[in-house]
């Protein structure tokens, strides 16, 4: 019994760290490389077709067995980026005034792989992990009916917003592009155009020293101005944060305005907490892929098809009953 207590004391004094744990009999064997998985050998089994447009660092390629052709040293602020178009099972109906006109939801997704030290700079709004999205799940059909469910998202003590879904956990992301320009007030801005991006899901510590964030944006995939950056901005100051309230509990609007101006000043100057520079050649490949895969199935393309079809039917329609001579002949006969 005494020996058991001694052993327990030794274990507590020198706990075994999880990072040093190796399963019994474990022997590391490198997985098949990207190219090896896709060799068109006779009698070979099935393989998974890759729909992504890749760009990555040499270190990332060597670490995960990726081909050299997509290595680009001009990628800055990220270890890798993969773009693809996903078509979901969720349909949206009622287009063009027709209740039966339905289209599947299409997502333009950028998987961004970041080093931990860069991920630590991001404006995380939740400590929780998320590797799924509610956009193609049953949760999208739920609508809050009670105050308690609505306020559950807010933590008044810490002034944070904890999201139940991945899209709520990371805020303040934009893509920016083009050369610097001057605003109407004369102040210089580090870019000429921009648009919001949204986090669909994320995995912190995806691999050792690596985070994975999935961002949505079809506008960036079609944009042609260069250069293109993804800016991870300071979070917009929240009126829910107790620090932004007056002693009587009311919102301190003056303080909020000061914080907002500081936030935008850093962004306009091109110095957000973190930015990712996408290589120009990579964006050209993304543009080509997007035209082939998404744009022909886009809502805009469908609207043009319907317009041209209606226009064509009107041209070929025989206006026999409404022509002037037909009406005169009908009047004479009657």
Residue 165 has a pLDDT of 44
Q: What is the pLDDT along the chain (334 residues), one digit of tens a residue?
A: 555 555 555 555 555 555 677 888 888 889 889 988 887 766 667 788 899 999 999 999 999 999 999 999 999 999 999 999 998 888 889 988 888 888 888 899 999 999 999 988 887 765 555 555 666 667 777 777 887 776 665 554 444 444 444 445 566 899 999 999 988 888 899 999 999 998 888 888 889 999 999 999 999 999 999 999 999 998 888 887 788 999 998 999 999 999 999 999 999 999 999 999 999 999 999 999 999 998 887 777 777 677 666 666 665 555 545 565 566 556 555 5
Residue 305 has a pLDDT of 72
227 prior amide bond cis, ω within 30: yes
- DSSP character string of 242-285: GGGB-TTS-B-HHHHHHHHHHHHHHHHTT--SEEEEEPHHHHHH
Number of other CB atoms surrounding residue 169 within 10 Å: 22
Gyration radius of the chain over CA positions: 28
CA distance 193 to 94: 32
Residue 11 has a pLDDT of 52
Q: In sequence order, what are the beta bridge partners of 83?
A: 53, 110
Q: What tokens were used for 37? A: 């998985």
Number of other CB atoms surrounding residue 282 within 10 Å: 20
Q: What tokens were used for 328? A: 């005169």
Say what the pTM is.
Answer: 0.79
CA angle (75 as vertex; 125, 117 as ends), nearest 5: 40
Cβ-contact 175, 197 below 8 angstroms = yes
Cβ-contact 166, 130 below 8 angstroms = yes
CA distance 300 to 222: 13
Residue 202 has a pLDDT of 82
Reading phi first (left if > 0) and then psi (alpha if -120 to 50, else beta), residue 276 is in beta
**Nearest Cα residue to 170 out of 144, 140, 133:** 133
Cβ-contact 244, 191 below 8 angstroms = no
Reading phi first (left if > 0) and then psi (alpha if -120 to 50, else beta), residue 178 is in left
């Amino acid at each position: 019994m005494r020996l058991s207590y001694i052993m327990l004391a030794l274990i507590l004094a020198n706990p075994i760290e999880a990072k040093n744990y190796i399963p019994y009999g474990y022997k590391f064997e490198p997985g098949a490389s990207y190219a090896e998985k896709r060799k068109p050998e006779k009698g070979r089994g099935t393989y998974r077709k890759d729909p992504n447009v890749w760009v990555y660092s040499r270190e990332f390629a060597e670490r995960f067995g990726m081909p050299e052709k997509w290595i680009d040293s001009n990628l800055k602020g990220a270890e890798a980026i993969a773009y693809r178009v996903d078509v979901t099972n969720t349909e949206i109906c009622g287009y063009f005034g027709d209740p039966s006109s339905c289209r599947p939801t299409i997502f333009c997704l950028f998987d961004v792989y970041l080093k931990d030290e860069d991920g630590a700079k991001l404006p995380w709004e939740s400590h929780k992990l998320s590797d799924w999205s509610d956009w193609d799940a049953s949760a999208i059909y739920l609508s809050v009916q009670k105050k308690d469910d609505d306020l559950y998202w807010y933590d008044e003590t810490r002034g944070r917003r904890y999201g139940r879904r991945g899209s709520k956990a990371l805020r303040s992301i934009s893509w920016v592009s083009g050369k610097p320009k001057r605003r109407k007030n004369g102040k210089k801005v580090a870019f000429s155009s921009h648009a919001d991006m949204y986090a669909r899901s994320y995995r912190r510590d995806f691999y050792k020293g690596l985070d994975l964030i999935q961002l949505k944006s079809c506008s960036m995939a079609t944009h042609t101005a260069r250069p293109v950056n993804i800016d991870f901005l300071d979070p917009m100051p929240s009126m829910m944060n107790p620090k932004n309230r007056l002693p009587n509990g009311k919102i301190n609007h003056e303080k909020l305005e000061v914080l907002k101006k500081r936030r935008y000043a850093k962004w306009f100057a091109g110095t957000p907490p973190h930015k990712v520079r996408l290589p120009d050649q990579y964006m050209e490949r993304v543009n080509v892929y997007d035209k082939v895969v998404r744009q022909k199935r886009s809502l805009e393309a469908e609207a043009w098809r319907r317009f041209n079809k209606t226009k064509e039917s009107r041209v070929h329609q025989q206006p026999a009953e409404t022509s002037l001579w037909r009406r005169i002949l009908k009047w004479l006969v009657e």
